[in-house]
């Protein structure tokens, strides 16, 4: 019965191969690497946001809708962030949530040269 090789042994073979050692099972190393990539892809596709993250995002969306409803103009993400007044939020988080809202159809994104402007749909 053939012993199953450990990941440590495969990674050591990869290191030896990178150092120029020709006494390495190249086909086996490739098969191992491809298998690990498939496992990583499978793990990442099953990742879902937690209930707390969904609730937090919903609260931020409601705040953004309130800010946009109180203005007749389109606003940048930075302007929306400052109107929200939440020091725990970042510009990147607000932008990501605005993109989700565009997909949902509640917000419209327009471009003014290189500046993204957001308004209610």
Q: Answer yes or no: do 56 and 100 share one domain.
A: yes
Q: Answer yes or no: do 18 and 39 share one domain.
A: yes
Q: Answer yes or no: do 79 and 103 share one domain.
A: yes
Chain center to CA of 75 = 24
Q: What is the DSSP letter of 107?
A: E
Q: How confident is the model at residue 36 (pLDDT cuts 50, 70, 90)?
A: very high
Question: What does the radius of gyration of the chain's CA atoms come to, in whole angstroms?
Answer: 24
Range of the domain at 55: 51-120
Q: How confident is the model at residue 43 (pLDDT cuts 50, 70, 90)?
A: confident
pLDDT of residue 8: 93
Residue 73 and residue 115 in contact, taking contact as beta carbons nearer than 8 Å? no
Q: Answer yes or no: do 58 and 78 share one domain.
A: yes
Q: Is residue 1 part of a domain?
A: no
Q: Answer yes or no: do 114 and 55 share one domain.
A: yes
Q: Answer yes or no: do 65 and 39 share one domain.
A: no
Q: Answer yes or no: do 63 and 114 share one domain.
A: yes
Instruction: Give the chain's mean pLDDT.
Output: 88
Please give the model's pTM, rounded to 2 decimal places: 0.59
Q: Answer yes or no: do 16 and 30 share one domain.
A: yes
- Tens digit of pLDDT for each residue in 59-112? 999 999 998 888 888 889 899 999 888 888 898 999 999 999 999 888 899 888
pLDDT of residue 50: 84
CATH number at residue 69: 1.10.10.10
pLDDT of residue 2: 62
pLDDT of residue 74: 87
Share of the chain above pLDDT 70, in %: 98
């Amino acid at each position: 019965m053939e012993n199953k090789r450990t990941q440590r042994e495969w990674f050591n073979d990869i290191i030896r191969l990178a150092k120029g050692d020709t006494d390495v099972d190249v086909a086996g190393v490739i098969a191992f690497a491809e298998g690990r990539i498939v496992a990583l892809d499978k793990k990442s596709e099953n990742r879902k946001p937690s209930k707390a993250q969904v609730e937090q995002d919903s609260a931020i969306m409601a705040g953004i809708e309130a800010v946009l409803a109180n203005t007749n103009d389109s606003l940048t993400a930075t302007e929306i962030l400052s109107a929200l007044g939440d020091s725990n939020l970042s510009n990147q988080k607000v932008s990501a949530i605005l993109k989700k809202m565009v997909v949902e159809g509640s917000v419209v994104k327009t471009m003014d040269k290189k500046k993204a402007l957001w308004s209610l749909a």
